[in-house]
Chain A
């Protein structure tokens, strides 16, 4: 049996994608979040960055007609904070994951394709980075540097590439051994040509799936950082909302809405990206869903009738 190829022609991909409920559900969840984040100023009932005069009555107001999700310890509208908070999570998630996937992809492809000493050193480095627990290191570095949005993205991105590198390396190793790469070499093709035309297109689906899955990890890391108080003070984020809630007596005020709302947001995004990632994996990985992608007519074998009744 030859290894079934990974295949993405546009139309076949969409057909497979639409049939995959997990992927569609994930994408729908993410589109809602994305729309909220992009159009936050239009969607949010209040401007969370506008100063408000705090009165005793305005803090920790229960959800009601004026504030659908109540107010927080500073008298601000929780729903508006929640909508604007999606921006930070999505920005950090997408950019950090992009950095991770580019680094992991480069390291994985170079190690797998060139092999030899380069591979040994790169993989030793990867293993070293893999055994360091990510989160404590991220916390330490962000605490030492300033917790600005850029710093948070860089630190999460620069530490999150190890699994990508390992996956891409093993995929590259198996593609490299395939006959069409040998045929390209026999034509006289150089490394650049082979990497660009043969290796990269076949690694790409893996990179796409991986980047989507890594976004949810990055979002969780960012939320944890903010929850621990390491957030960009100039921007509202869900982790930061949780942090303030815990530090400023939401529990004793029984203001459950300040806790549940950002928590729900984090779960929503992480779940959305995870569903989309696994759905894409099924669509793109021919071993699970190969038949969705083939264009040629399949032979349909009808089950033979059981023993004819006498």
Chain B
């Protein structure tokens, strides 16, 4: 079966400085630097990594809002890397995004109904206003806002953070997309509401067999939720595998370090904490060889020289580290 989404060494580099008239900063920000990935239909893949590792840039590139520097994006078997105009707009119907900040991602002057109907308006669907309203109400109910009628005329400032995020989710669902990108959809919400929104996403996946790419920097939110986990470091995926495999048996030293920082309730499972040394990485001047070696607690000389390829550990699990080969 063709995967819902396939990325082939996708790269997105930004110019480091503003291009001046006389001098141009030749350096590049390697925000996304060679990502190859397949996501199956109906799968929830969690993309985990520290701030600045390129998660949001990857999402924006998938949405066609940033043009990839190189590489390919295949969407349900078709290459959509270079789509423009109407074809690109059509692609937008099938891939939708939920943003991090529900307070900022709704226009303060648009009612809930207008916000949820906006995708229909943009794509000139259901021009009949009664049919449009039925669809909007359906989407609001699917997003857990009941009774939906009572929300239609409200403005964002009359909603709580959790309700706003549900409105955003309803607006993302109204076009019935096949892929949902969720960029830290719960990190701005109260802890008590996070679980509700995560449950909602899981429920939507179960009901509609939608594919969800879930971006986060927090292992805690995804353990019970994702099918697979991909760990990102400086624009690359350094380890990917089924949630169980990655959480139980992390192979890449970076994953191990991240996991050792997650509080574990059972003291017997608690490992020795690995503290990452050094600075947060800078995606402009990439280290030679393995890009993690300056911070790696177990780095060897060869790590300085060779950029490690992804090493398969099982049918589903792989890690990009020279040391796992042994």
Q: Which residues of A contact B (CB under 8 A)?
A: 2, 5-9, 178-180, 182-190, 193, 197-198, 201-202, 294-296
Contact = CB atoms under 8 A, between A and B. Distances in A.
Contacts of A7: 108-109, 155, 157
Which of B89, B101, B108, B119 has its CB near the most chain A CB atoms (within 10 A)?
B108
Given A7-B108, A7-B157, A8-B109, A183 B122 contact: no
Which of A187, A189, A193, A201 has its CB near the most chain B CB atoms (within 10 A)?
A187
Contacts of A197: 107, 110, 118
A182 B22 CA distance: 31
A186 to B, nearest CB: 5
Interface residues on B, range: 20 to 34
A5 B109 contact: yes
Interface stretch (B24-32, B92-100, B213-221, B307-315): B92-100
Contact of A178 (B96, B104, B157): B104
Contacts of B110: 197
B206 interface: no
The 7 closest A-B pairs by CB, nearest first: A5-B108, A188-B92, A179-B104, A188-B89, A179-B105, A180-B107, A189-B122
Given A179-B104, A198-B107, A185 B123 contact: no
Contacts of A296: 157-158
A296 B106 CA distance: 18
B248 to A, nearest CB: 35
B168 interface: yes
Nearest to A187: B119
Contacts of B89: 188, 190
B17 to A, nearest CB: 17
Given A9-B155, A295-B158, A187 B105 contact: no
Interface in B110-144: 110, 118-119, 121-123
B65 interface: yes
A199 to B, nearest CB: 10
Nearest to B119: A187
Nearest to A188: B92
B63 A186 contact: yes
Contact of B99 (A182, A198, A201): A182
B88 interface: yes
